[in-house]
Amino acid sequence: MAPGNGIEPSSAVRAFAFNIIFYLNLVSFILAAMPLLIFPRQYIRAFVHLWSHTSLWWLKVLTGTNYEIRGQQNIPQGALLVAAKHQSFWETFALMPLFADPVIVLKRELTWIPLLGWILRKYGCIPVDRNGASKALRAMLEQARLSAKENRQIIIFPEGTRQDPDAAPDYKPGVGLLYVDLKIPCLPIALNSGLYWPRRRPERHPGTILVDILSPIPPGLTRKRFLPRIEAEIETATAKLVVEARGA
């Protein structure tokens, strides 16, 4: 992503300072959270949300990158499937404080990381083996059902991996399987974080990341009807946020 078109250039010094402090802050929180593993999950949840808020604060102070959440009134109570656009590492932690008791569907390898993996398992994150085919999907469904019974909000990134803001969408079938199986509302979320926190690049651009929480899709659709709808709603709203940020 080139600067201009409404996106301010990234300061190499400020971005470097933030990246160092971000990971130092993460390591500090991981170490400080270790004693909480013996307590109920809500203690880890509160600690993770605190880490999220501090990370967002450092991002704003050091790089001038803020965020705006639109449509929070669309978040229903209780069990929920949250389908979010995935452009950046930003949304993996910034979306969690929006929900009462969230759980993220993530790649299994993250749970193997020493110390961090313990926290992710305690938090109740749902690991997915991307190479496990049908067996991996069944395991994901089983854990998602347990989370839904606990009235948790299951956050999934339907594309599975980060996509550049201008990349063609690549939605995987997992979100459709969860929607049909769990029979709970699905909340689509659009965002443009990739313009400010590009994937696999160190720059952090000043400005305001926009997040649009769309109207929930009620349960009851077939997978054949649901998948095109969720993709169309998220991609249409995301495209508008990208255009708005670029000032086009």
pLDDT digits (tens, 9 = 90+) for 184-239: 999 999 999 999 999 989 999 999 999 999 999 999 999 999 999 999 999 999 99
Report the pLDDT value the prediction gives residue 132, as an integer from 0 to 100: 63
Six-digit token pair at 136?
A: 């991996």
Q: What is the pLDDT of residues 104-151, one digit of tens each?
A: 999 889 999 999 999 999 998 999 887 766 777 888 899 999 999 999
How far from 32 is each of 7, 90, 116, CA to CA, in Å? 37, 22, 11
Rounded Cα distance, 231 and 85, in Å: 9
Query: Using CA atoms, how far apart are residues 177 and 179, in angstroms rounded to an integer?
Result: 6
CB 83 within 8 A of CB 95: no
* Beta strands 207-213; 186-191: pairing state: antiparallel
- Tell me what the mean pLDDT of segment 166-173 comes to: 94
Topology (CATH) of 12-246: Glycerol-3-phosphate (1)-acyltransferase (3.40.1130)
**Secondary structure (3-state) at 212:** strand
- The string of pLDDT tens digits covering residues 56-115 is 999 999 999 999 999 999 999 999 999 999 999 999 999 999 999 999 999 889 999 999
DSSP of 146-207: HHHHTT-EEEE-TTSS---TTSPP---THHHHHHHHH---EEEEEE-GGGTS-TT------E
Question: What is the pLDDT, as a whole number, of residue 138?
Answer: 84
Among 204, 169, 172, 218, CA closest to 190: 169
CB 128 within 8 A of CB 144: no
Q: Coil, strand or helix: which one is 110?
A: helix
Residue 171 and residue 157 in contact, taking contact as beta carbons nearer than 8 Å: no
